[in-house]
Amino acid sequence: MSPDPIPDKPVAPTPLDHAPAPAGPTTTQKLLAEALGTFVLVFGSIGAALFASDFGVGANGSSLGIGFVGVAFAFGLTVVAGAYAWGPISGGHFNPAVTLGLAAAGRFAWKDSVGYIVAQVIGGAVGTSLIVLIGLFGPGSWLADAQAGGFASNGYGDGDGFGSPGGFGLGAAIVAEILFTGIFVLVILGATHATRGTKFAGLVIGLTLTLIHLASIPIDNTSVNPARSIATAIYGGAEPLLQLWVFLVFPIVGALLAGFLHRALFSTKGIDL
């Protein structure tokens, strides 16, 4: 018979075995990421709408502006940039409606929503404030004209230089904001799912936002984001502020409906499928 095997000598643990797991981002870092991402979204997209959408005509009579299509892509591109730059830190909401929609779906803590929303509103307001700062040094009455036209604010109806670009009324704005925000949140929930999502989620979400703007800019200048609406209304004058409630309430309604719908359709006993 062969001798009994010698038991393995126990290996002394190394210091690395007891090293704490790397800490995640702090709350302050997450809020800063949300503010920065919303700032980029508003500054880039509203800047495109105000500075470049209707730039004029060239020597050959062709338009030099980017028009609705260019503005729609500006919104999508800024979301892509923010998602990849700061999404890994905060989740890349950059939108109060998205934050509340994710909470309704069980993918974000309700208790953290207020801080995120405050950071997003501040980031958006800084974005339009810097556009105003640039406009102060603009040609002629550029800033006064931009503000007289509503400063790219969301609106409905036929106002005096402000309202729906296509003349659509309040009902159209309500339905559009609920539906398009709901679609946006459903796409976000699907693209960012822990097991079924994609590493290209930021691109998918940005292109979806582009599509939404292509379809709905003529209706009400497209909100689907209360922080964006607040940021422009504060410089757009009395009428945008009076109509602002529509673009606070109904994007949130659409997002909450989408969050609860996602949870009902794709969750079993509280587990997200």
> Residue 38: what pLDDT?
98
Model's pTM, two decimal places? 0.89
> Residue 191: what pLDDT?
96
> Residue 61: what pLDDT?
61
> Residue 3: what pLDDT?
47
List of domains in the chain: 27-50+63-265 (1.20.1080.10)
Measure the CA–CA gap between 49 and 70, rounded to whole angstroms. 8
Query: Which mean pLDDT values do the consecutive 10-residue runs of the chain (273 residues) have?
Result: 50 55 87 98 98 76 84 98 97 98 97 98 98 96 95 90 93 98 98 91 97 98 98 97 98 98 80 62
> Residue 270: what pLDDT?
54
> Residue 15: what pLDDT?
52
> Residue 18: what pLDDT?
57
Measure the CA–CA gap between 205 and 185, rounded to whole angstroms. 9
